[in-house]
Amino acid sequence: MKPKHLGRLQQVADAVYQHEQRAIKAICAEETALRRALAALDAGGAEFAPADIGKTGALALSGAEMAWRKWSGNRRAALNAELARVLARKSQELTRVRQAFGRSEAIRMLHGNRPGKGHQPG
C-alpha cells in the first residue's frame, strides 16, 4: 500500500476509534447515574431499617412506611433492569472500542515500519 494511503487510512482508523471512545464514555455516564440512583434509594430507605421499625410510630400508623417500601422496591427493580441493559450495551461497545483501537494501532505500526522511516529491524 502506498504511504499516502496508509496516512489516510490511519486518519480514518483514528476517527473511528475516537467515535467509539465517545460512545463508551456516554454509556459509562449512564451506568454511573444509575448506580448513584440505586445508592440514593438505599440511603433514603435507611430511616425504615428493621431496628427503627418500632420508633417510626406515626409513619407506620399512616402507612407511609408500606408505601415507601412498595415504591422503593418497584423503583429498585426498574433501576436494576435499566442497569442490566446499560451493562450489556457497555460490553458490546467495549468490544467495538478494542477492535477500533487494534485497527488503529496495526495501521500505525504499518505506517511507522515502512522502509525509509528510520525503522531498524530487530
Residue closest to 46 by CA, chosen among 32, 65, 28: 65
What are the residue ranges spanned by the domains of the chain? 3-112
pLDDT tens profile 52-109: 555 556 555 567 778 888 899 999 999 999 999 999 999 999 999 999 999 999 998 8
Report residue 55 as a C-alpha cell.
420508633
Judged by DSSP in three states, 25 sits in: helix
Angle at CA of residue 44, ends 41 and 48, nearest 5°: 120
pLDDT tens profile 40-68: 998 876 665 555 555 556 555 567 778 88
Let me know if 16 is exposed, middle or buried by CB neighbors in 10 A (0-12, 13-18, 19+).
middle
